[in-house]
Amino acid sequence: MKYVLIKESVIKERDASNWITYERTEKVEIERFMTSTGWSSIGEDRKPEDLCQSFTHPSFEYWNKRGEILKKIGDGEKIEIRKVIRQMSWENYACVEQKVVNFITLNDRRFGFTGNPSDIPSVIEFLKQDAGFKQVPLFLDHGTVILDPEATGRLISTLASMLKANNKLLTNEERGLPDITVYDDPLIPYSHVFYTFDDEGVKTRRKELIGNGQVQDYLGTLYLGHHGNGRGFYPKPDFFNVVLKPGDWKVQELMEETKNGFLVLGSTGAEIVKKGIRLKPRKVISLGGGEIMVRELAIPLAELSTLDAITSDSRSVYLDEDHGAVAPFVRIKARFLY
């Protein structure tokens, strides 16, 4: 198989005094072959099952208007309109995926989406929302927290990373998972990680990883099983866009019903530490008023079952350039680390 990845970008960013606009092109082209043990630089040229098909996203037509659109946008710290072309080809077959992905950076926050670059100003307005709160001296060992969609996205993406077929950290026998349903969905058209085929040339699909609190499937590759999540030049299992199935709570109702609770606004990251998840919040707000300074929220796996409320409202979340989420507000108990 020959794998070709082309990224053409027009970038507008602010330096100390003014705006600078420039263009950049990246191209990667490699030959690789499937063998009985995985991908190699030598071997036989075999096509996988569930073979990819060519697809052009509707956003692709806006690439030729990139300069005109970018001239009208004057906010943000860095704006990038990127044309992405991915091609898989065998001796007598090829499939190509084409799309336009937009990235916006503002106030140390970043967001991406696949679609019309004319929607960038509305994303900028969203990133500007960073309300200030008075800090209050409050030190507690633990508490009930409401995670906003960004923080929830970090939580469920960490759960998804524990479901890789080459390193299964959660199994069908796992106890203590909350009654939630989690998917990996590469086919959300507006997501910046919209992919119609993975890096093995396999058609992608919405995959249920956790169903009603039980592990249902894993992120896998052609050689690990559970195929459809091969990512990278020499593919390994990974998620694209992790989705938490919404519940039936309203956000305002959840706030009113959570006595002496805390609201977590945003998250800069999450990681697995021993048998638990550490979440790094942007802000933690006491629902009684005021911001408290919390370095991390610790949620042991055994306490994930305390997740007892999920809102019906979800939002697209940017995790990093290669991963996204669609997540609601949730309520869960957490331990505070200062």
Helices (H), the chain: 66-71, 120-127, 149-161, 251-257
State mean pLDDT over 238-265: 96
Answer for the pair 6, 84: CB distance below 8 angstroms, yes or no.
yes
Q: Alpha-carbon distance 153 to 150, whole Å?
A: 5
Instruction: With a cut of 70, say whether residue 284 has pLDDT above it.
Output: yes
pLDDT of residue 135: 65
Pairing of strands 38-40, 214-215: unpaired
pLDDT of residue 275: 83
- Per-residue pLDDT of 145-160, as tens digits, reads 999 999 999 999 999 9
What average pLDDT is seen over the chain?
92
Answer for the pair 114, 57: CB distance below 8 angstroms, yes or no.
yes
At 130, the pLDDT band (50, 70, 90 cuts) reads low
- Coil vs helix vs strand at 266: strand
CB atoms within 10 A of CB 124: 18
Residue 63 phi/psi, 5° resolution? -60, -40
Report CA Rg, the chain: 21
SS3 content of the chain, % helix, strand, coil (to 5): 15, 50, 35
The 10 Å CB-count burial string (b at 16+, else e) for 171-188 is eeebeebbebbbbbbbeb
Among 35-44, 125-134, 279-288, the minimum mean pLDDT is found in 125-134
Answer for the pair 338, 293: CB distance below 8 angstroms, yes or no.
yes
Q: Alpha-carbon distance 88 to 71, whole Å?
A: 35
- Per-residue pLDDT of 209-233, as tens digits, reads 999 999 999 999 998 999 999 999 8
State mean pLDDT over 178-200: 97
- Tokens representing 92? 């007598």
Answer for the pair 31, 2: CB distance below 8 angstroms, yes or no.
yes
Q: Alpha-carbon distance 267 to 333, whole Å?
A: 16
Instruction: With a cut of 90, say whether residue 45 has pLDDT above it.
Output: no
DSSP string, 55-117: EE-GGGGGGGGHHHHHHT---SSEEEEEEEEEEEEETTEEEEEEEEEEEEEETTEEEEEES-G
Q: Alpha-carbon distance 99 to 323, whole Å?
A: 16
- Per-residue pLDDT of 7-40, as tens digits, reads 999 999 987 678 899 999 999 999 998 877 788 8
pLDDT of residue 140: 77
pLDDT of residue 46: 74
State mean pLDDT over 268-292: 91
